[in-house]
Chains A and B, each alone.
Chain A
Amino acid sequence: MQEEESTQTGSQRAFSVLDRLLLTHPVWLQLSLNQDSALYVLLREPVGTFLVRKCSSSQRKVLCLRVAADRSASSVKECFICEEDSTFALESSALSFPDLCRLVAFYCISRDVLPFPLQLPEAIAKATTHRQLEAISHMGQDFWSAPSAVDIQNGPLGSIASTSGANAQMAGTQDRCSLFMRGKQGKVCFINPLFLQLEVCKDFYYDYKLKFMSSCFESNLSKLQQPQHTNHSASNKRHRFKRSMRLRLSESSMNLSLEGVGSFSPPPSLEQPGGSEGLQKASPNPQRRVHAGAGVLRRTPAVSPGSAEEDDMMAIYVPEVSPEVELQSFYTSTDSSLVQDNETPKFQQEAGIDSMDDEHDSDSEPESMAQIQTNTFHRPPLVRSRGRGGMHRMSEAFVCFFAPDKRLTRLVEELARDRRSVFGGMVQDFLQEQRKVLVTSVQLLQSLRLFLSQAKCCLLDSRELEPPIETLVPENEKDLALERAMFSCILRPLKCHLEKALTSFHSRDGSTQCLTQNLLRLKGNGAMERLGVRTGVPDAREVERVKQKLILMQRTHSPIDKVLLLLQVCKFVHKICPNQTGQDVSWDDFLPALSYVIVECNRPHLLVEVEYMMELLEPSWLGGEGGYYLTSVYASLCLIQSLEQDQPFSGCLTPQVQEALKEWSCRRTLEAQKQKETQQSQPHLQRCVRILFQDGERSAVQTLQWRAGETSQALAQLCASTFGVSDPQQYTLF
């Protein structure tokens, strides 16, 4: 027993500051706190304690740091966080970071513009197991209202402390902390040099050394897994821990959480149904375990997405969430290879369009999706929910340094595939539905847009995204990044299906034929005159370049990327326009030139593309530059379709176009109204409830849907089935 205990602890030494921050963001990231509450919290904490809140008037994030021991307001320093160009930085600093967690991690180690480095709360800094960190994380805001940070450790740490023979839990904890100050050292934090500016470039390797209690446990590294479970049930019996479920209402931005204590019930029921034993049998994987141990003490180079080191870093966490070993190793291999394939080249053309790599993605996606799905379904609920917020997932997410919004996309996609999350269930149901039903093109796209918006709300409401989006993308890029992520997990799987449906719809109503015919008739044959072109036009080579863009456009699923390509085309036309007149180009110069280029490119498919973009882009974005030029391309197509044989444009649109225009404006108005109504009424119908399940030292958080009118008993039932509790009468909701 003793030995097993120590093994367990030994395996989890390697939490870097970043890892600790990632796991406990619900504690230090308090965006809903106002200045006074933050002050109130920090004044009860030691100097060096910090939290991040959001200023309600400027809507900017603020790092609040206790700088002096006195109790005046000035003993808390506030430092604004700038979110620009996809990076996060402290206001007066030259250093910027790819995400908020990295920024905070850096300032835990180096002071830079601060008077001294940030100090993690003791409980977080000294936690030794994933489980402890998770338990701390589940406290959220309550962490700060707890009598003292050290007491917090009692729950999770206590069980371990007592196994080492100590009766007094506090004493045990402290002993162990000092024990840690022996042995090897490891690198704790690294920052991405890409995001460092100015003179700091070379010296970014802020080497922070943390001592581990490693030597005495190293020999036991090969026994990392089983002990956890033995220990778990053992400590359960020993401690007869109070059980509780905690309820958080996610519709409030305040981190409202209520905690309570339930009656005790004997543990066996929990040990069996979850299948943790069954899975445990499947999981042992000796190489990986050794691997993991080795990885613990390794230095990680600052930038090497998908490198061997990264793999090791991930493998470290495998023992912690043992039943997931297979799944995790699967993720590790797939994702790091994906990253290598896509991210690096993508970074080089960062300013450009990243839709080209969509091809790779969509090629590899179906299989991996299927595999992940089958894997997911086998996971027992309790274990799954613990794993999902797990360290592995987060670290993996941070492998892709280069594209912050791509990182978000990956996280969201992963969640979308996970039927057990509220968001994933919603998306998967919808995707299945879409593959069956066939409607008209407009209805199809409309229902898609509606769902995209609903899914986005759901994702934010459910708070299932780990780490939260606020730490991943700067505020001003949030909308865009979220939209991209939605497109990726909803439109990408439907790409083929949609293309077929739209194409067949437009050939049935005759619009494709009409356009094809007119394009052919116009091409090269007095097109300039009939379109009213009075500026310069591109030559054959230049037309070919535009054509290539249009071909690329057809390959991506993302309306945003399509519009970006369209903008490139329009920019190109704009450049060519003024050749003859040398004056300012007005609309009357631009549109004919654009129409000419479209005729020369001869791609009737553009019709489908334009409809796709117009219907699927978030309606408010159609007012921007992309919307303007998209509208111009649409106008060009209308113009081309309306040209009658051998006549210049008469000023009359085809009846179909006129009809479509009328319909469009009615529809969009209706849609906007409907959306507003849904948004307002939705909370009445159902909402997401975040449940914290505590059972002894085990805890898990899960978002559930709670429909209006349902009793709390029904909710309790749902909780019981979700967390695999077979004797729900023994538990209560608080």
Chain B
Amino acid sequence: MATAGAAGTSGRTYSFKVVLLGEGCVGKTSLVLRYCENKFNDKHITTLQASFLTKKLNITGKRVNLAIWDTAGQERFHALGPIYYRDSNGAILVYDITDEDSFEKVKNWVKELRKMLGNEICLCIVGNKIDLDKDRHVSVEDAESYAESVGAKHYHTSAKLNKGIEELFLDLCKRMMETAQAEERAKGNGASQSASNRRGVQIVDDEPQATPAGGCCSSG
């Protein structure tokens, strides 16, 4: 709790919330455990068993705090999803390449997320268990073209062999940083203006019109 920083950008640290979606058996929990292993903050609950995990990264000199939220895998808890994914910066949608049904579930999530959160959320579609490629039931082309069609990126991973996981998270972080920076730029006119005016204006005169004008405008 105490370590939870400001969302978006505060100073040079970015804090992102990433939600983990997918069916129970696709291995989404082990995917994240692989990634976060040995990097835990031992305060509070965060243990290997926890469904909330954090990771600290340093990307091109910028600090990034990643909070990864596990969610329901069972269909009957699907309705609770929105409680978890609201305000997320990113979503990792995991399917099992040997299970076509799990890929359909991912499609449902994508629809829902786009509807509820719009384009501000970065989506990653992840085909897990590539160590079982011989049993593949979801074709690479299908998956990748689908991902492209919904503005998501597609990745292949194996939690078992620890393959593709680092790349997935690093890429996601970079994309979330870009989104955050773009957002900042869009809203940032006022902010940058005030920053450039930080130096303040010296008030040397108490002429009514001169003093407040100098002062107020400088506050931008």
Q: Mark A residues whose CB is within 8 Å of B.
A: 59, 247, 249, 251-254, 256, 258, 477, 479-480, 532, 560, 563-564, 567, 570-571, 574, 577-578, 584-588, 590-591, 618-629, 631-632, 634-635, 638-639, 642, 648-653, 661, 664-665, 668, 676, 680-681, 683-684, 687, 706, 708-713, 715-716, 732-734
| Contact A638–B80 (Cβ < 8 Å) | yes
Residues on B with beta carbons closer than 8 Å to the beta carbon of A713: 206, 208
Q: State the 7 A-B residue pairs at the shortest beta-carbon distance, nearest first.
A: A624-B4, A626-B1, A712-B211, A252-B200, A620-B7, A683-B219, A628-B52
Residues on B with beta carbons closer than 8 Å to the beta carbon of A632: 51
| Contact A59–B190 (Cβ < 8 Å) | no
Which residue from B10, B29, B67 sits with its C-beta under 8 Å from A584? B29
Smallest distance from the beta carbon of B180 to chain A beta carbons, Å? 13
| Contact A624–B211 (Cβ < 8 Å) | no
Which residue from A258, A590, A625, A668 sits with its C-beta under 8 Å from B4? A625
B210's nearest neighbour on chain A, judged by CB, is A712
Within 1-54 of B, Cβ neighbours of A (below 8 Å) are at: 1-8, 10-12, 15-17, 24, 29-30, 33, 44-52, 54
| Contact A587–B76 (Cβ < 8 Å) | no
Question: Once the chains are docked, how many angstroms separate the CA of A625 from the CA of B70?
Answer: 12
Which residue from B5, B50, B79, B208 sits with its C-beta under 8 Å from A712? B208
Question: Once the chains are docked, how many angstroms separate the CA of A694 from the CA of B66?
Answer: 52
Smallest distance from the beta carbon of B83 to chain A beta carbons, Å? 5
B202's nearest neighbour on chain A, judged by CB, is A258
| Contact A591–B72 (Cβ < 8 Å) | yes
- The yes or no answer to B82 lying at the interface (CB within 8 A) is yes
Question: Once the chains are docked, how many angstroms separate the CA of A610 from the CA of B46?
Answer: 21
Q: Mark B residues whose CB is within 8 Å of A.
A: 1-8, 10-12, 15-17, 24, 29-30, 33, 44-52, 54, 67, 69-80, 82-84, 86-87, 116, 187, 190-191, 194, 198-200, 202-204, 206-209, 211-212, 215-216, 218-220
Which residue from A477, A577, A676, A712 sits with its C-beta under 8 Å from B206? A712
| Contact B76–A532 (Cβ < 8 Å) | yes
| Contact A587–B73 (Cβ < 8 Å) | yes
| Contact B69–A628 (Cβ < 8 Å) | yes
A258-B202, A477-B2, A586-B73 are contacts. A567–B45 as well, Cβ < 8 Å? yes
B72's nearest neighbour on chain A, judged by CB, is A587
Question: Once the chains are docked, how many angstroms separate the CA of A621 from the CA of B215?
Answer: 35
Known: A708-B212, A711-B208, A716-B206. 17 other contacts (CB 8 A): A249-B200, A254-B200, A584-B33, A585-B50, A587-B29, A588-B77, A591-B80, A623-B17, A624-B5, A625-B1, A629-B45, A642-B79, A651-B75, A665-B82, A712-B211, A715-B211, A732-B206
| Contact B198–A252 (Cβ < 8 Å) | yes
B81's nearest neighbour on chain A, judged by CB, is A635
A256-B202, A258-B204 are contacts. A634–B1 as well, Cβ < 8 Å? no
In the complex, 21 of the A-B residue pairs with CB atoms within 8 angstroms, ordered by the A residue number, are: A252-B200, A256-B200, A256-B202, A532-B74, A532-B76, A574-B47, A586-B51, A587-B29, A587-B51, A587-B73, A621-B1, A629-B45, A642-B79, A649-B77, A651-B77, A661-B86, A681-B190, A687-B219, A708-B212, A711-B209, A711-B212
| Contact B12–A664 (Cβ < 8 Å) | no
Question: Once the chains are docked, how many angstroms separate the CA of A618 from the CA of B4?
Answer: 10
Question: Once the chains are docked, how many angstroms separate the CA of A574 from the CA of B52?
Answer: 12
| Contact A574–B79 (Cβ < 8 Å) | no
| Contact A734–B206 (Cβ < 8 Å) | yes
Smallest distance from the beta carbon of B70 to chain A beta carbons, Å? 5
Residues on B with beta carbons closer than 8 Å to the beta carbon of A626: 1, 4
Question: Once the chains are docked, how many angstroms separate the CA of A563 from the CA of B45?
Answer: 13
| Contact A564–B49 (Cβ < 8 Å) | no
Which of A623, A631, A711 lies at the interface centre, i.e. has the most chain B CB atoms within 10 A of its CB? A623
| Contact B212–A623 (Cβ < 8 Å) | no
Question: Once the chains are docked, how many angstroms separate the CA of A619 from the CA of B7?
Answer: 8
Residues on A with beta carbons closer than 8 Å to the beta carbon of B78: 651
A586-B70, A668-B87, A710-B212 are contacts. A624–B77 as well, Cβ < 8 Å? no
A-B contacts at CB below 8 angstroms, number: 189
Smallest distance from the beta carbon of B7 to chain A beta carbons, Å? 4
Residues on B with beta carbons closer than 8 Å to the beta carbon of A631: 69, 83-84
Residues on B with beta carbons closer than 8 Å to the beta carbon of A625: 1, 3-4, 44-46, 52, 54, 67
A623-B4, A733-B206 are contacts. A584–B30 as well, Cβ < 8 Å? yes
| Contact B80–A712 (Cβ < 8 Å) | no
A480's nearest neighbour on chain B, judged by CB, is B2
Question: Once the chains are docked, how many angstroms separate the CA of A203 from the CA of B72?
Answer: 57
Which residue from A564, A574, A687 sits with its C-beta under 8 Å from B1? A564
Question: Once the chains are docked, how many angstroms separate the CA of A642 from the CA of B79?
Answer: 10
| Contact A585–B83 (Cβ < 8 Å) | no
B3's nearest neighbour on chain A, judged by CB, is A624
Which residue from B76, B200, B206 sits with its C-beta under 8 Å from A651? B76
Question: Once the chains are docked, how many angstroms separate the CA of A590 from the CA of B73?
Answer: 12
Residues on B with beta carbons closer than 8 Å to the beta carbon of A664: 86
Smallest distance from the beta carbon of B143 to chain A beta carbons, Å? 24
Smallest distance from the beta carbon of B55 to chain A beta carbons, Å? 13
Question: Once the chains are docked, how many angstroms separate the CA of A480 from the CA of B33?
Answer: 28
Smallest distance from the beta carbon of A245 to chain B beta carbons, Å? 10
Smallest distance from the beta carbon of A686 to chain B beta carbons, Å? 10
B68's nearest neighbour on chain A, judged by CB, is A628
Smallest distance from the beta carbon of B196 to chain A beta carbons, Å? 12
A673's nearest neighbour on chain B, judged by CB, is B187
Smallest distance from the beta carbon of B132 to chain A beta carbons, Å? 20
Smallest distance from the beta carbon of B71 to chain A beta carbons, Å? 6
Residues on A with beta carbons closer than 8 Å to the beta carbon of B79: 642, 651-653
Question: Once the chains are docked, how many angstroms separate the CA of A642 from the CA of B83?
Answer: 14
Residues on A with beta carbons closer than 8 Å to the beta carbon of B50: 574, 585
| Contact B76–A649 (Cβ < 8 Å) | yes
Smallest distance from the beta carbon of B78 to chain A beta carbons, Å? 6
| Contact B190–A680 (Cβ < 8 Å) | yes
A732's nearest neighbour on chain B, judged by CB, is B206
A651-B75, A733-B206 are contacts. A578–B51 as well, Cβ < 8 Å? no
Question: Once the chains are docked, how many angstroms separate the CA of A355 from the CA of B217?
Answer: 45
Question: Once the chains are docked, how many angstroms separate the CA of A279 from the CA of B205?
Answer: 37
| Contact B49–A578 (Cβ < 8 Å) | yes
Smallest distance from the beta carbon of A564 to chain B beta carbons, Å? 6
Question: Once the chains are docked, how many angstroms separate the CA of A639 from the CA of B84?
Answer: 13
B33's nearest neighbour on chain A, judged by CB, is A584
A532-B74, A621-B4 are contacts. A683–B80 as well, Cβ < 8 Å? no
A258-B203, A585-B51, A629-B52 are contacts. A708–B74 as well, Cβ < 8 Å? no
Smallest distance from the beta carbon of B14 to chain A beta carbons, Å? 11
B84's nearest neighbour on chain A, judged by CB, is A631
Residues on A with beta carbons closer than 8 Å to the beta carbon of B52: 625, 628-629
Question: Once the chains are docked, how many angstroms separate the CA of A501 from the CA of B207?
Answer: 51
Smallest distance from the beta carbon of A71 to chain B beta carbons, Å? 27
B86's nearest neighbour on chain A, judged by CB, is A665
Question: Once the chains are docked, how many angstroms separate the CA of A361 from the CA of B147?
Answer: 57
Residues on A with beta carbons closer than 8 Å to the beta carbon of B206: 712-713, 716, 732-734
Residues on A with beta carbons closer than 8 Å to the beta carbon of B11: 59
Residues on B with beta carbons closer than 8 Å to the beta carbon of A642: 79
Question: Once the chains are docked, how many angstroms separate the CA of A10 from the CA of B3?
Answer: 49
| Contact A254–B51 (Cβ < 8 Å) | no
| Contact B86–A253 (Cβ < 8 Å) | no
A713's nearest neighbour on chain B, judged by CB, is B208
Question: Once the chains are docked, how many angstroms separate the CA of A251 from the CA of B72?
Answer: 47
